[in-house]
Chains A and B, each alone.
Chain A
Amino acid sequence: MTVDAWIAEPVNWVFSIVAVVILFTAVRVVTSPNVVHAALYLVAALAGSAVMFLLLSAEFVALVLVLVYIGAVLVLFLFGIMITRAPTGFDEGLSNDRKLVSAAISLVLLGVLSWASLSAFGTDTVNTVGSPTATEILGDAILGRFVIPFEVVSFILLSALIGGITVARRDLTPLEEEERKAV
């Protein structure tokens, strides 16, 4: 592809800008000394990923990313921060003795993922760029070929919640103790 052809295609511009935004926010997620800031940078990074899915013609997946990750999982993160503490200032303890180890692991992960996607798709190109996939195709895949994983997902969700409840039961016991003291 020539440079002129690259410039003429607006999708490339959107991709480049969004890619830079994702990179910046993703780096800030791990370098920000404030947990809440880190969570909000993660929101921005995920929003950028949603735009990427949109560019890859996956309209439904893009919105699912916004709905489930930004709308629900990140709220869970924020609540997780709030139930431990609500830090309003900077938290020095957050950074980060094992910087090098985690950086190395991230690099390895990047390598593995790149290798996997390269060997899986090679030089295939997405043919439908610019025309989002219909929701029906996705629904067909979920309830047809992938119906067993689809049903199993509900079990995973259930087990996650059982774990959550087990953690949450701790706030019953001190209350009970207080009540017993009061009686």
Chain B
Amino acid sequence: MDWIDFLIVVLRVVVVFALLLLVTIINVWAERKVVADFQNRIGPERAGPFGMLQTVADGLKLFFKESIIPARSEVGMFLLAPFLAVIPAFLIFLNIPFGRPITIGDRVIPLQGMDVDVGLLIVLAMSSMAVYAVVIAGWSSGSKYPLLGGVRATAQAISYEAAMGLAMVAVVLFSATQAADAPGGTLSLAELVERQSGTWAGIIPRWNLIPQIVAFVIFFIAAIAETNRAPFDLVEAEQELVGGYFTEYSGMRFAMFFLAEYINIFSMSALTATLFLGGWNGPTWDGVLPVWLSALLPFVWFMIKTYVLVFIFFWIRATLPRLRYDQLMALGWKRLIPGALGWLMLTAVVLGYRRFGLPWS
């Protein structure tokens, strides 16, 4: 590996980093605007055109606000928690391919922060690491509500992570039988996207969405719960828990938790698009359009698919009331997980029949 390769790696990471910060600025504004429209309000409109700079203004305000370290807190852990919230959030999106690999000279540059064989497992592992920010923030604050919120959030996160993992296995299983030369299953996200290219019968795109519709529904519900968004936002249920695990955080430290939450919304939508909506796959009209446009189009398809899902996140938030805690746990353990297990075995049997015939033949 020479220094040009190293530079390309750094550049890829910086691109992912900048992209995440940019979409966060847009998403916070977009959510307020969209929810305002749902509720027949105007929403932010003062800062910049259509209020688009509202997030920047908010960020600047928080930058100049006092950041309290409560007297009862465990200072070291209290300061550590914002780091633990932000870092996994960035590392999740690092694994997601956001465009077709581009070729410059004799180098093929994947438009993806990191492409390893076990990308899907890294995503799952990082989203389970995010639990620690919540636990440590809640525990170190030395206050009632953060502690309650933290423990609640952890139980919720691990419950839905199980459902999410099972839905992922179903997708891996399905895509194992999709490659033409049958090299078996893959946990690489780039490979999972490749296998969704092309169409069935000339018109239906080969997305995992259609054959894996049940897994999609389970996965998306789990994704909403994992990011602690409405209707699963009882981590920060104001009426009972004030602000949940980050009640005692203020100023820039609070802003970090906020940033992590919005990055996670975007990453989870991007992951759903990657696993179920074909990722960056889409018509590129190679040869007809200029080369740069054909190279750009996959990124555009990826962003469109992701933003459709982000919009559904906002839509659900504006529509559904918050669940009770027992309903939340019942949905996770009594509906989604048995459902995901059943769907997984059904997928396996159907795929086995289609590929290997009857077991006794």
Question: What is the predominant secondary structure among interface residues of chain A facing chain B?
Answer: helix
Contact A70 B128 (CB under 8 A): yes
Of A67, A78, A134, A136, which one neighbours B135 at CB under 8 angstroms? A78
In the bound complex, residues from chain B placing their C-beta under 8 Å from that of A135 are 117-118, 187
- Inter-chain contact total with CB atoms closer than 8 Å: 58
Contact B147 A66 (CB under 8 A): no
Contact A75 B147 (CB under 8 A): no
Question: What is the predominant secondary structure among interface residues of chain B facing chain A?
Answer: helix
Q: In the docked arrangement, what's the CA distance between A86 and B184, Å?
A: 47
Task: Determine how close the nearest CB of chain A comes to the CB of B132; give it in whole angstroms.
Answer: 7
Of all chain B residues, the one with the shortest Cβ separation from A133 is B117
Task: Determine how close the nearest CB of chain B comes to the CB of A182; give it in whole angstroms.
Answer: 20
Q: In the docked arrangement, what's the CA distance between A72 and B125, Å?
A: 10
Of all chain A residues, the one with the shortest Cβ separation from B73 is A88
Of A40, A59, A75, which one neighbours B158 at CB under 8 angstroms? A75
Q: In the docked arrangement, what's the CA distance between A72 and B131, Å?
A: 10
Which of A82, A88, A136 lies at the interface centre, i.e. has the most chain B CB atoms within 10 A of its CB?
A88
Judged by a CB distance under 8 angstroms, whether B74 is at the interface is: yes
Judged by a CB distance under 8 angstroms, whether B116 is at the interface is: yes
Task: Determine how close the nearest CB of chain A comes to the CB of B153; give it in whole angstroms.
Answer: 11
Judged by a CB distance under 8 angstroms, whether A71 is at the interface is: yes
Contact A132 B125 (CB under 8 A): no
Contact B132 A43 (CB under 8 A): yes
Contact B74 A72 (CB under 8 A): no
Mark out the residues of chain B between 89 and 133 whose CB falls within 8 Å of any chain A CB in the assembled complex.
Answer: 116-118, 121-122, 124-125, 128-129, 131-132
Q: In the docked arrangement, what's the CA distance between A48 and B122, Å?
A: 16
Of all chain B residues, the one with the shortest Cβ separation from A132 is B117
Q: In the docked arrangement, what's the CA distance between A78 and B21, Å?
A: 32
Of B117, B125, B131, which one neighbours A66 at CB under 8 angstroms? B125
Contact B154 A79 (CB under 8 A): yes
Digitize B131-161: 1 where CB-to-A-CB distance is under 8 Å, 0 elsewhere: 1100110010010000100010011001001
Number of interface residues of B (CB under 8 A): 27
Judged by a CB distance under 8 angstroms, whether B355 is at the interface is: no
Mark out the residues of chain B between 73 and 95 whose CB falls within 8 Å of any chain A CB in the assembled complex.
Answer: 74, 77
Contact B118 A72 (CB under 8 A): no
Q: In the docked arrangement, what's the CA distance between A16 and B155, Å?
A: 36
Of A40, A86, A132, which one neighbours B136 at CB under 8 angstroms? A40
Contact B139 A75 (CB under 8 A): no
Judged by a CB distance under 8 angstroms, whether A52 is at the interface is: no
Q: In the docked arrangement, what's the CA distance between A151 and B217, Å?
A: 30
In the bound complex, residues from chain A placing their C-beta under 8 Å from that of B185 are 136
Task: Determine how close the nearest CB of chain B comes to the CB of A157; give it in whole angstroms.
Answer: 13
In the bound complex, residues from chain A placing their C-beta under 8 Å from that of B136 are 40
Q: In the docked arrangement, what's the CA distance between A36 and B140, Å?
A: 10
Q: In the docked arrangement, what's the CA distance between A182 and B142, Å?
A: 34
Judged by a CB distance under 8 angstroms, whether B72 is at the interface is: yes
Q: In the docked arrangement, what's the CA distance between A136 and B129, Å?
A: 25
* Residues of A in contact with B, size category: 20 to 34
Q: In the docked arrangement, what's the CA distance between A135 and B191, Å?
A: 14
Q: In the docked arrangement, what's the CA distance between A77 and B142, Å?
A: 19
Contact A71 B128 (CB under 8 A): yes
Contact B118 A60 (CB under 8 A): yes
Q: In the docked arrangement, what's the CA distance between A40 and B133, Å?
A: 11
Q: In the docked arrangement, what's the CA distance between A39 and B142, Å?
A: 18
Contact B128 A63 (CB under 8 A): no
Task: Determine how close the nearest CB of chain B comes to the CB of A153; give it in whole angstroms.
Answer: 17
Of all chain B residues, the one with the shortest Cβ separation from A88 is B142
In the bound complex, residues from chain A placing their C-beta under 8 Å from that of B161 are 71
Contact B154 A88 (CB under 8 A): no
In the bound complex, residues from chain B placing their C-beta under 8 Å from that of A78 are 135, 154
Contact A67 B128 (CB under 8 A): yes
Contact A59 B154 (CB under 8 A): no
In the bound complex, residues from chain B placing their C-beta under 8 Å from that of A43 are 132
Q: In the docked arrangement, what's the CA distance between A63 and B126, Å?
A: 10
Which of B118, B185, B187 lies at the interface centre, i.e. has the most chain A CB atoms within 10 A of its CB?
B118
Task: Determine how close the nearest CB of chain B comes to the CB of A63; give it in whole angstroms.
Answer: 4
Task: Determine how close the nearest CB of chain B comes to the CB of A24; give it in whole angstroms.
Answer: 16
Contact B154 A63 (CB under 8 A): no
Of B72, B118, B184, which one neighbours A63 at CB under 8 angstroms? B118
Which of A40, A64, A67 lies at the interface centre, i.e. has the most chain B CB atoms within 10 A of its CB?
A67
Q: In the docked arrangement, what's the CA distance between A88 and B147, Å?
A: 11
A sample of 10 inter-chain contacts (CB < 8 A) reads A59-B116, A63-B125, A67-B121, A70-B129, A71-B128, A71-B161, A75-B154, A88-B72, A135-B117, A135-B187
The 4 closest A-B CB pairs, nearest first, are A71-B128, A63-B121, A66-B125, A67-B125
Q: Given A71-B125, A78-B135, list of 9 further CB < 8 A pairs? A: A40-B77, A59-B117, A60-B121, A63-B118, A67-B121, A67-B124, A67-B125, A86-B139, A135-B187
Could you tell me which B residues sit within 8 Å of A by CB distance? 72, 74, 77, 116-118, 121-122, 124-125, 128-129, 131-132, 135-136, 139, 142, 147, 151, 154-155, 158, 161, 184-185, 187
